[in-house]
Amino acid sequence: MIEIQSQMTERALELLALQEDVPCFILDIGCGSGLSGQTLEESGHFWIGVDISSAMLSVALEREVEGDMMLGDMGQGMCFRAGSFDGAISISALQWLCNADKTSHSPPKRLFKFFSTLYSCLSRGSRAVFQFYPENSEQIELITQQAMKAGFTGGLVVDYPNSTKAKKMFLVLFTGGHQKLPKALGTEEQQNTGTDHIPYSDKRERMKQIRGKAPKKSRDWILEKKERRRRQGRNVRPDTKYTGRKRSGKF
């Protein structure tokens, strides 16, 4: 567990693209027990960590980490002066913002508060890298939407997209205007697919065509599925001119 965390932190540091051998001032969001912070220290950086759990921070204190830590809720905003940090990382924390832990919480609002305050406390041209575990694509959508709204550019880098075990998602955000997304690991067979789309999707499309099945949700797919269910003996509505018709926005 510790090994994985430090590996992810090192990869996040790599994606942060800081100047080589220059000690920087980094914000560790959701620093927990200081595992990621220690990796930052080993690379010669000074860090400030924020975490919502005092229990986790106590563990970090016991480990005698060098970074300074504070108890804070990232959804309430990053309360630092403008342009304080040279970069920000977050390991396995961002997905927590998508849950509404109290009835008064609104995840999109909290996400926006977090991203907009983070944007201002980063120095221009610096990056924020988040390793996180999204539950589904709606969460990814929600997160990236609020990040873009806050002024960030960037996107998702998915390492080892073909392996369920090794797959890791990193949200890489830039403050200095649009930049090329870093290359994901484990995708050597992809060459010119355009750097900001998930490397596996081209291969997936090709496989679909080879199998000869209709793409998801098209009228053909719907007709095929209905046919399949009739063969199973289920009660299926007859196919009419209304089958698979485009519905208005209300649906």
Chain centroid to CA 150: 15
Rounded Cα distance, 80 and 32, in Å? 19
Cα dihedral 43, 48, 49, 54 in deg (nearest 10): 130
Cβ neighbors of 115 (< 8 A, separation 6 or more) are 146, 147, 149, 150, 152, 173
| Per-residue interface string for the shown chain with other proteins, residues 82-111, x marking contact by CB under 8 A | -xxx----------------x-x-------
Tokens of 158: 């998915």
Q: Under the criterion CB under 8 A, does residue 77 sit at the interface with other proteins? A: yes
**Which segment (5-13, 19-27, 143-151, 198-206) binds other proteins by CB under 8 A?**
19-27
SS3 state of residue 79:
coil
Q: How far is CA 115 from the centre of its chain?
A: 13
Q: Binder to other proteins among 4, 63, 70, 230 (CB under 8 A)?
A: 70
Vertex 230: Cα angle to 224 and 234 (nearest 5): 130
Among residues 4, 42, 63, 66, the one that binds other proteins under rule CB under 8 A:
66
Any contact of residue 81 with other proteins (CB under 8 A)?
yes
Total residues contacting other proteins (rule CB under 8 A)? 35
Interface residue with other proteins among 72, 134, 151, 186 (CB under 8 A) is: 72
Closest distance of CB 66 from other proteins, Å: 7
- What lies within 8 Å, CB to CB, of 108 at 6+ separation is 142, 145, 146
**Residues forming a β-bridge with 25:** 46
Q: Does 124 contact other proteins by CB under 8 A?
A: no
Instruction: Spell out, one character per residue from 232 to 251, where the chain touches other proteins: x when CB under 8 A holds, - when not.
Output: --------------------
Closest distance between other proteins and the C-beta of residue 164, in Å?
36
The answer to the question of residue 32 lying near other proteins (CB under 8 A) is no
Q: Is 52 in the site for other proteins (CB under 8 A)?
A: yes
What amino acid occupies position 33? S
Which chain residues interact with other proteins by CB under 8 A? 22-25, 44, 46, 48, 50, 52, 54, 57-58, 61, 66, 68-73, 76-81, 83-85, 102, 104, 113, 117, 121, 123
